[in-house]
Structure 1
């Protein structure tokens, strides 16, 4: 597997992913983990329009993505995985996919969330999922785009969710 990036971002493929992260990481394929979008041609079409023309896009249910990744379906392509919620990455890890790092880029403010950074707001359930991911040896960072410093997500959770 040649996974060069993994990102939690509620907006999936959009300006930051398409115009900043994709060129920075020299991404050849973006994999969107989303069961609903995988079955919805309109959502897939919108994601395709947001994806750079030089980059391939796969919109897949998590189990299918894990199967493709574990069986090296994409060869040496540089892969960037994006999902709306951290649970998708925990599922991917539990299905045998290896990830070194997950970048948490955008989780919007809701009634039950705590602000970790201006862009990252998480619920207590999200915090538990991130803790489970961290116990699997995955480095978790909060970084909105490549031009700002990455922050240790687990430290932010420890500081702000007492």
Structure 2
């Protein structure tokens, strides 16, 4: 038996009010795995993320290769996991590493130079679009929702509409 991945979310704010309370409750997870090489190296951020965990939910911050190596390990079969990523590149790396995903929820991707805002919470650059296209080609649903109550917006439809595909 392998880890039960209940939600995969890209949100560069990682654990904040919405994730900690609503998403964790709705998906009934017992573990939040922040999957990021960058965050895994940052002791302060790791500590803060662990403190932000909702009651009854453990938080681990792990590097991408570590996620790939433990996904099929029966030792972690008790995990009902919410996987949190900061960007689509890292999601692509775990998929290329053999982890099969059905759907990716996109909650927030901050604006920075070279990115285009496509919703009030999501900005993409060419690399993001390329990685999202790759994930879509693997048959993975890409849906944008900041909060559980939002209607799902199909990422690929939106990218088409914005002439980014």
What's the TM-score, normalizing by structure 1? Answer: 0.95
Runs of 4+ residues deviating >4 angstroms: none
Quote the residue 2:158 is aligned against: 156
Indicate which of 57, 61, 64 corresponds to 1:55: 57
Question: Secondary structure in 2 aligned to 1:73?
Answer: helix
Deviation at 1:85, TM superposition (A): 0.6
Query: 2:31 corresponds to which residue?
Result: 29
| Residue equivalent to 1:129 | 131
Task: Measure the CA separation in 1 of the matches of 2:38 and 2:92.
Answer: 18
CA shift for structure 1 position 27: 1.1
Runs of at least 5 residues in structure 1 that lack an aligned partner in the other structure = none
Number of corresponding residues:
162
Structure 1 CA distance, aligned partners of 2:74 and 2:23? 23
Matched, 1:88 2:102: no
Greater mean deviation of Cα atoms: 34-43 or 85-94: 34-43
Q: How far does the alpha carbon of each residue in 1:33-52 deviate from its partner, in whole angstroms, 9 at most, with x for none? A: 11132233211110011111
Deviation by residue 1:1-57 (Cα, 9 ceiling, x = unmatched): 311000110111111110111111111111101113223321111001111121011
Paired position in structure 1 for 2:74: 72
Hey, what's the Cα distance between the residues in 2 that align with 1:110 and 1:34? 19
CA positional deviation for 1:125: 1.2
Q: Residues 123-145 of structure 1, C-alpha deviation per residue, up to 9 Å, x if partnerless? A: 11100110001111110000001
Name whichever of 72-81 and 89-98 sits farther off.
Answer: 72-81
Deviates more, 1:70-79 or 1:141-150: 70-79
For structure 2, list consecutive stretches of 5 or more residues without a partner in the other structure.
none
Distance 1:25 1:54 in 2: 13
For 2:55 and 2:44, the matched residues in 1 are separated by 18
The 1-side partners of 2:163 and 2:9 are apart by 22
Q: Which stretch shows the higher mean deviation, 110-119 or 25-34?
A: 110-119
Moved more, 74-83 or 4-13: 74-83
